[in-house]
Amino acid sequence: MKSAALLVLLFRTLAWAQCQCPADDFMAYETNTTPVLNAPVVANTVFGSGTVDVTRLHRVLTPVDLNGMNPSAPTDSSHFAGFEATDVTFPTAIPGRTFTTDLGMVVFKPAQIRFVLDPCTKVLGPTPGPPPGSGLAFLCFVAGSGSSGPKLTADCADQFGDFSAQFLRVAYACVAAGLGPTPAPPEQWFVCLAERGPHRPPNVSLDTLDFGAFPDVNLASPDEVCLAVSAFH
């Protein structure tokens, strides 16, 4: 019995250590009206491959410093453009996960597909810069019943300024995906908590890795903070 218990403990320890996830946390800003794409794309993940329909730009994710844990985040060039997406042929049997993040433990029960996150460059003003040379995309799933996470207030700092945000609930989580012919990468995650804060950024221009350029995008107040996952099981 003791040897069996030790094997279970070893398995759990190894599972928690598997995540080679992005180091940054991100603030997710909702965009106002942008052109409709209606672009079907194949998404390849560790859970399977399938087609999703990318409809329109809906989020811009910028690196954020939470409670002083990553002071260099406001100057980090890593960004994501979040596109609304609907399931076309993607497998539905995505397992639940428990995540370790900078703000505590999050239990995630996935529901339907919500977004595709595509690497992008971001500049202030009406003219996009060059697209990123490479990067990892993510496929995001809405948090279903049984999901739970920390409800707290954190001090936030990104390129647009400093503010305080209140985190309310688990909104969605995103797993690494290869788009088109790119094969499925190792399992990596972000988990995004709905938040409430008064912050309002200026217009930005984006150039994405896979979906083209978007000049002079109007941003609303932030809707979520997307936390890097350091471990999961």
| pLDDT given at position 26 | 96
- Is 7 inside a domain boundary? no
- Is 141 inside a domain boundary? yes
- Is 82 inside a domain boundary? yes
The parent domain of residue 169 ranges over 19-232
Residue 27 has pLDDT above 70, yes or no: yes
Q: Which two tokens stand for residue 209?
A: 């890795």
- Is 14 inside a domain boundary? no
- Is 10 inside a domain boundary? no
What average pLDDT does the segment 207-225 reach?
93
- Is 9 inside a domain boundary? no
Number of domains in the chain: 1
- Is 2 inside a domain boundary? no
The DSSP line for 72-98 is: TGGG---EEEEEEEEESS----PPPEE
What's the pTM value of the predicted model, to 2 decimals?
A: 0.89
Q: Rounded to whole angstroms, what are the CA distances from 127 to 2, 97, 200?
A: 64, 40, 20
CA separation for the pair 30, 195 (Å, rounded): 12
Look at the block and give the residue holding tokens 């080679």: 20
Residue 14 has pLDDT above 60, yes or no: no
- Is 3 inside a domain boundary? no
What average pLDDT does the segment 168-176 reach?
96
